[in-house]
Homo-oligomer: A and B are copies of this chain.
Amino acid sequence: MRISDLSRRAGLPVATVKYYLREGLLHPGTATAATQATYGDGHLRRLRLIRALTDIGGLSLRQVHAVIDAIGEADPLGAVHALDARFDADAGSDRGTADAEVDRFVDGELGWKVAADAPARRLLADALVAMRRSGRQVDVAILRPYARAAGWLVTEDLEAEDVSAGPDRSERAVIATLAADAASIALRHLAREHLAGSGRGDRGTM
């Protein structure tokens, strides 16, 4: 397809598509003339992925670059690891015992089989540390309801998703993951607004 069709199907202005091409976020099309190129389904999938990363992932273009570079030929799991790696800007951080607490919780208490270097482990430890730094006395046990909700939601999601093989399997996995992240964040924030407002009655929302 031509760039105008690609742009229309991706729901993005042609100028944006050209910008992504210049920035190397989108691979070049096949040249058909000196100033024309043709684009395929792979380009459309890539644009949908970029949109998901920026729109619902809230990623900056620099972070999108890092995720796309890392996805490459990776399997779906590697793609999700790449996505989570953006949270690890602070790898040398003073998480202290939090890393070990999280590992004991995930491997021991939950008995989940996940890679030892899964970036989500570090994200979890950072969450604990942030709660503690802000003055809350929290134990890793605070994560139990989250783990229960996660197991339940993911089971439902995996039943509904198309996890079949295909050239776009990693992209599908990343988009499904981002969409589920967004749904989970958005609904918790809305629930918080509702419950904090109505419970304390200080928001005038009743």
Contacts and interface: CB of A to CB of B under 8 A. Distances in A.
Contacts of A158: 192, 195-196, 199
Nearest to A138: B160
A154 B2 CA distance: 48
Contact of A146 (B62, B184, B194): B184
Task: Count identical subunits in the complex.
Answer: 2
A15 interface: no
Interface in A30-65: 48, 51-52, 54-56, 58-60, 62-63
A124 B185 CA distance: 9
Given A123-B185, A126-B55, A150-B190, A176 B145 contact: no
A153 interface: yes
A177 B151 contact: no
Closest 3 CB pairs of A and B: A149-B149, A112-B194, A127-B182
13 contacts: A113-B194, A114-B205, A118-B189, A134-B179, A136-B162, A138-B160, A142-B160, A145-B153, A149-B184, A149-B187, A150-B191, A155-B195, A177-B189
Interface of A: 11, 48, 51-52, 54-56, 58-60, 62-63, 76-77, 80, 84, 86-87, 89-90, 93-94, 106, 112-115, 118, 120-121, 123-124, 126-128, 130-131, 133-136, 138, 142-143, 145-147, 149-158, 160-163, 171-172, 175-200, 203, 205-206
